[in-house]
Amino acid sequence: MGATGAAGRAAPAGADARAVNPAATQPLAAADARRIAEAFLPEFPLGNRYDYYYVRGKLGSDPLYPGVLAALRGSDAPLLDLGCGLGLLAHALRCDGQTQAYRGVDNDSAKIARARRAADTSGLTHTRFDVIDLANTVPEHRGSVAILDVLQYLDADAQRALLVNAAAMLMPGALLVIRSALDDDSGRARATRVTDRLANWIGWMRFRPRCWPTREGLRETLEATGLQAEFAPLYANTPFNNWLIVAKRPAS
């Protein structure tokens, strides 16, 4: 993000100067959010519509996916989405016209089953979903890696291990794209902690948050793997302290 942050506000102190289309700091267009959400409608009229309303609400309010799409645009490296949940990134990529091979992995088998069904309903191509517990298994992959809203569910050592493993997967020209809340003294950080705990309490997230990373800690870990990272706020009009981190190996 450049000197101007979401909705035309000045970016917070410490944000890296990046030239990002302002549209990347806002949620998906309502029509796109609705079209993607329709893939999550139940098979029968009286079926459970929770996923439909969740997907439509998230895509229509969270700038996560436009920010990630902007970072990945122009790269054809295969993408591994670690902790993919319902696989919304795959739908957003295809809606954006991006055609790179996509693989999403998550330890929640129920979400993976629903992700597969929605991908089939939408006819997504070059898309695959697998149940993998990242605490015990490192997927084989060469390409780009996305880690979106996952790090806070790992302790500090597990965060470092995941980032080191992800960095080793990057092929030349590939990107490591992270969206994470950052731990600091801001009101946004406090709102994020409360919301993440609530998501676990109501059962949407299976695990309690364990450790919110700091900006300094992430930069240190990524630089130790040879990556250069840029940080930009990615919260738009939400109350959360979410940031986009894009890391890559410097050109030799």
- CATH code for the domain in which residue 89 is found: 3.40.50.150
Q: Report the mean per-residue pLDDT for the chain.
A: 87
Query: Which pair of tokens denotes residue 25?
Result: 């700091």
Asked if pLDDT for residue 15 goes beyond 60, the answer is: no
Give domain status of residue 135, yes or no: yes
Q: With respect to residue 1, please indicate whether it lies within any of the assigned structural domains.
A: no
9 pLDDT band, cuts 50/70/90, is very low
Q: Is residue 45 part of a domain?
A: yes
Domains in the chain, number: 1
The reported pTM is 0.86
Please state which of the ranges 118-122, 147-151, 155-159, 209-213 shows the lowest mean pLDDT: 209-213
Neighbours of 142 (CB within 10 A): 13
- What percent of the chain is predicted at pLDDT more than 70? 87
**Residue 98 domain-assigned (yes or no):** yes
131 located within any domain: yes
Alpha helix (H) ranges present in the chain? 30-37, 50-61, 64-72, 88-95, 109-122, 156-169, 187-201, 215-224
Q: How far apart are CA 143 and CA 171, in angstroms?
A: 5
Domain that holds residue 180: 6-248
Residue 60 lies in a domain: yes
Residue of higher predicted confidence among 53 and 184:
53
Least-confidence region, from 5-9, 53-57, 94-98, 212-216: 5-9
Please check whether residue 132 lies inside any domain of the structure: yes
Looking at residue 208, its pLDDT comes to: 75
| β-sheet bridge partners, residue 130 | 105
Query: Is residue 196 a part of any domain in this protein?
Result: yes
